[in-house]
Amino acid sequence: MLKGLRRRSQASAQASRTTITRRALMLGGAQVAMVAALGLRMRHMQLERADEFRMLADGNSIKIRLIPPARGLIYDRNGLLVAGNEQNYRVTMTREDAEDVPGELAALRQLIPMTDAEAGELLTEIARRPPNAPITIADRLSWEEFCSVSINTPALPGVTPEVGLSRHYPHGPDFAHVLGYVGPVSDYDLSKLENPDPLLRIPRFQLGKSGIEAKLEDELRGTAGQRRVEVNSAGREMRELSRREGDPGVALQLTLDARLQNFALQRLAGESAAAVVMDVTNGDIMAIASAPSFDPNLFVRGISGADYGALMENDHRPLADKTVQGVYPPGSTFKLVTLLAALEAGVVSPEETVYCPGYMTVGGRRFGCWKHSGHGRVNAVYSLEQSCDTYYYEVSQRVGIEAIAAMAKRLGIGVKHDLPMSAVAEGNAPTKDWKLKRHGKDWLIGDTINASIGQGYVLASPLQLAVMVSRVASGRAVVPRLVRARNGVEVPAPEAPKLDIDPAHLAVARRGMWAVVNGSHGTAGGSKVVLQDWLMAGKTGTSQVRSAVVNNKAVPWEQRDHALFVCFAPVADPKYAVALIVEHGGGGSSAAAPIARDILLFALAGGLPPLAAYPAAQRETVKSRFEGLDLIDPAHFAAPTRGRA
């Protein structure tokens, strides 16, 4: 009958059944005990403590509030505060705790100034947000306004006067482009994040919008603290039950020098211009100034339509960061690249001369040198000193565009440098493939000739030009950097590897740059430095904005040529490099070189340069120029407080 079952001796089967039954009963007992424990726990929670839990669920009388952390402070290389936090008095309202939102808002308007439009927007926002989210009614109140609201809070349920922190940029416009600014979190910001930090849900929480503030947001923000508070039925805090502070954001120390930055911007005042100062030994960016600038504090407070409109309409484009975002044809400053490419390829020797009759005809087309009468026989050094175009027309045909593009990338042009700034441009070191892909056309020899003197398709940002000069000056592949230390811990700056370029060829380029400033026929001979220890070398550039060359004075501002100047000093032992562009400034030697020299000398002197550095004939002009500048006095700033605030 039980075919499928194993046969077993009656006794054994009986014994095992007894065992199983006994064990099953033991297990049953244990189960009963656990069920009893579960039942008792249920009774304990649902019957004995029901009132307590009911209260928590109903009134949620205990609320958990986030404590926003202090945003990380930012210092310049000497410990001057360039981005800090200041106390901000504000008033918030929570809809679920308020009895009559429009009525209370009307009452508040008696105490703090508010336009009808603002009040309307607030009402919409309050209705749109979750009922338990506090909405900022007004911030940056004066102490008197704040007090008057505080006194009246008993009549205004759901309204809370608060003291918070708000970002402040003590140097105003000086660091607007590099630091960027913070602003209130927008729905768009939130929509971009997969899993937003709960802090960002705090209305008007300040979030980096551009520049370092945006790029290093994660470090600067810090982590939230929290406190548990008991509230009464009106939502007013009765007492704080527990509190855990958050961690403030990382304190950053930048490589920038606030005084140099300020001087550069002052010196560029009135122009649409950009200047980058780099330490050629380690890549530290000492100053990165884009003029004109704007006051980032306006954006933190919420810029008015009129102010914003004025910034947008200004033809000098104050909002654009011309240092890293703007790209320009580098003009004759690019001749350094063409020369080094040709020397490295061996298609021309340093001493070999090219005859310049003032033009060159290639493929039936005539390419003129800037000096129509011609330079005669020109060698490498003299070609830079005189900025002879014909020389470069000739050598660029010998070496070809591919080698020129490769050299440009080695020197940092056409490469996106990794800096925590907004919209860092890549520039362009054009190649044949690039033109085919981008324009669908074959590369022409005329394109090479244009590229050889930094026109045509070649584009570089002032930052890239500064990197180029730093590399030529130091012979090392220095990489630009902006962050010097985090929370007082220095960011290591390993020595850059040597450039894979024959040092003899780099020396030729440097001698050429020396001659540009100090030679008898140098194009920047008017911007000499006479102190032997600080001798300067440089290269002028004038990049065409329109095709026909006419007198710059005769055309409207926006059609004039861009003036460029790149330089480094001291010649004997290079320390700093400057790249400077004055948009539509005219010639590089007249519009750019004198400003670049002042900035470079300021960097070397660590303050206003001594007049002794200038040729005797220029000292009076320089002196009066300096006196006209509105420079910051470091004494205005409290003793630098390092680390956490």
Partner 1 sequence: MSYLENNLKTIPSGPTKILFLNWPLIFLLTAVAGTGFLMLYSVAGGNVETWAEPQMKRFGVGLVAMIAVGLTPIWFWRNVSGVIYTIALLLLLAVEFVGDIGMGAQRWLDLGPLRLQPSEIMKIGLVMLLAAYYDWLPAEKVSSPIWVALPVALILMPTFLVLTQPDLGTAVMLTLGGGFVMFAAGVSLWYFGTIIALVVGLVAAVLESRGTSWQLLHDYQFKRIDTFLDPSADPLGAGYNIMQAQIALGSGGWSGRGYMQGTQSHLNFLPEKHTDFIFTTLAEEFGFIGAFGLLSLYVGIIAFATYTALSTKDRYASLVSLGVAGTFFFFFAINMGMVMGLMPVVGVPLPMVSYGGTAMMILLAAFGLVQSAHVHRPR
151 lines the binding site for partner 1 (CB under 8 A): no
Q: Which residues contact 116 (CB under 8 A, 6 or more apart)?
A: none
Q: Please tell me the distance from the alpha carbon of residue 25 to that of residue 14, in angstroms, as a whole number.
A: 17
Q: Closest Cα to residue 149, out of 237, 89, 205?
A: 89
Q: Please tell me the distance from the alpha carbon of residue 442 to that of residue 451, in angstroms, as a whole number.
A: 15
24 lines the binding site for partner 1 (CB under 8 A): yes
Identify which range of 30-38, 340-348, 417-425, 440-448 contacts partner 1 by CB under 8 A. Answer: 30-38
131 lines the binding site for partner 1 (CB under 8 A): no
Residue 474 among the catalytic residues:
no
Contacts with partner 1 in 4-23 (CB under 8 A)?
Answer: 4-6, 12-13, 15-17, 19-21, 23
Identify which range of 25-33, 282-290, 295-303, 502-510 contacts partner 1 by CB under 8 A. Answer: 25-33
Residue (31 or 186) nearer to partner 1, CB: 31
Tell me the residue type at 148. Answer: S
61 lines the binding site for partner 1 (CB under 8 A): no
200 lines the binding site for partner 1 (CB under 8 A): no
Least distance CB 67 / partner 1 (angstroms): 11
Q: Within a 10 A sphere around the Cβ of 59, how many other Cβ atoms? A: 13
Residue (235 or 462) nearer to partner 1, CB: 235
Least distance CB 66 / partner 1 (angstroms): 8
Residue (14 or 314) nearer to partner 1, CB: 14
Identify which range of 3-11, 351-359, 503-511, 615-623 contacts partner 1 by CB under 8 A. Answer: 3-11
Residue (241 or 612) nearer to partner 1, CB: 241
Burial of 205-225, coded b for 16+ CB within 10 Å and e otherwise, reads bbbbbbbbbbbbbebbbbebb
130 lines the binding site for partner 1 (CB under 8 A): no
Residue (198 or 634) nearer to partner 1, CB: 198
Q: Please tell me the distance from the alpha carbon of residue 157 to that of residue 231, in angstroms, as a whole number.
A: 12
Beta bridge partners of 182: 208
38 lines the binding site for partner 1 (CB under 8 A): yes
**DSSP 8-state secondary structure symbol assigned to residue 73:** P
Radius of gyration of the chain (CA): 35
Beta bridge partners of 486: 252, 489
Residue 288 near residue 281, CB atoms below 8 Å = no
Residue 582 near residue 592, CB atoms below 8 Å = yes
Least distance CB 208 / partner 1 (angstroms): 24
Q: Catalytic pick from 272, 290, 293, 332?
A: 332
Residue choice 226, 397, 487, 618 for contact with partner 1 (CB under 8 A): 226
What's phi and psi for 276, nearest 5 deg?
-130, 130
56 lines the binding site for partner 1 (CB under 8 A): yes
Q: Which long-range contacts (CB under 8 A, 24 or more apart) does 491-495 make?
A: 493/282, 493/283, 493/284, 495/282
194 lines the binding site for partner 1 (CB under 8 A): no
Question: Which positions from 253 to 292 touch partner 1 by CB under 8 A, shown as an x/- string?
Answer: ----------------------------------------
Residue 415 near residue 208, CB atoms below 8 Å = no
398 lines the binding site for partner 1 (CB under 8 A): no
Q: How far is CA 310 from the centre of its chain?
A: 23
Residue (7 or 437) nearer to partner 1, CB: 7
Residue (54 or 521) nearer to partner 1, CB: 54
Q: Please tell me the distance from the alpha carbon of residue 549 to that of residue 560, in angstroms, as a whole number.
A: 10
Q: Please tell me the distance from the alpha carbon of residue 290 to that of residue 269, in angstroms, as a whole number.
A: 10
Residue (1 or 306) nearer to partner 1, CB: 1
Residue 502 near residue 343, CB atoms below 8 Å = yes
Q: Which residues contact 429 (CB under 8 A, 6 or more apart)?
A: 404, 405, 406, 408, 409, 413, 414, 458
45 lines the binding site for partner 1 (CB under 8 A): yes
Q: Please tell me the distance from the alpha carbon of residue 567 to that of residue 571, in angstroms, as a whole number.
A: 10
Residue choice 102, 120, 198, 357 for contact with partner 1 (CB under 8 A): 198
64 lines the binding site for partner 1 (CB under 8 A): yes
243 lines the binding site for partner 1 (CB under 8 A): no
Residue choice 29, 53, 96, 433 for contact with partner 1 (CB under 8 A): 53
Residue choice 129, 140, 228, 625 for contact with partner 1 (CB under 8 A): 228
Least distance CB 189 / partner 1 (angstroms): 22
Residue (43 or 521) nearer to partner 1, CB: 43
- Rounded to the nearest 10 degrees, the angle between the axes of helix 401-410 and helix 445-452 is 30
Q: Please tell me the distance from the alpha carbon of residue 256 to that of residue 481, in angstroms, as a whole number.
A: 10
Distance between first and last Cα of the chain: 88
Least distance CB 160 / partner 1 (angstroms): 20
Q: How far is CA 157 from the centre of its chain?
A: 43
78 lines the binding site for partner 1 (CB under 8 A): no
1 lines the binding site for partner 1 (CB under 8 A): yes
Residue (23 or 365) nearer to partner 1, CB: 23
Residue choice 7, 47, 617, 633 for contact with partner 1 (CB under 8 A): 47
In 155-297, where do the E strands start and end?
Answer: 159-168, 182-184, 206-208, 225-231, 237-244, 252-254, 273-279, 285-291
Least distance CB 131 / partner 1 (angstroms): 11
In the numeric block, which tokens belong to residue 639?
């003793």
39 lines the binding site for partner 1 (CB under 8 A): yes
Residue 177 near residue 290, CB atoms below 8 Å = yes
Least distance CB 406 / partner 1 (angstroms): 44
Identify which range of 27-35, 161-169, 359-367, 610-618 contacts partner 1 by CB under 8 A. Answer: 27-35
Residue 375 near residue 356, CB atoms below 8 Å = yes
Which residues here bind partner 1, judged by CB under 8 A? 1-2, 4-6, 12-13, 15-17, 19-21, 23-24, 26-28, 31, 34-35, 37-39, 41-43, 45-47, 49-50, 52-54, 56-58, 64, 66, 198, 226, 228
Residues catalogued as catalytic: 332
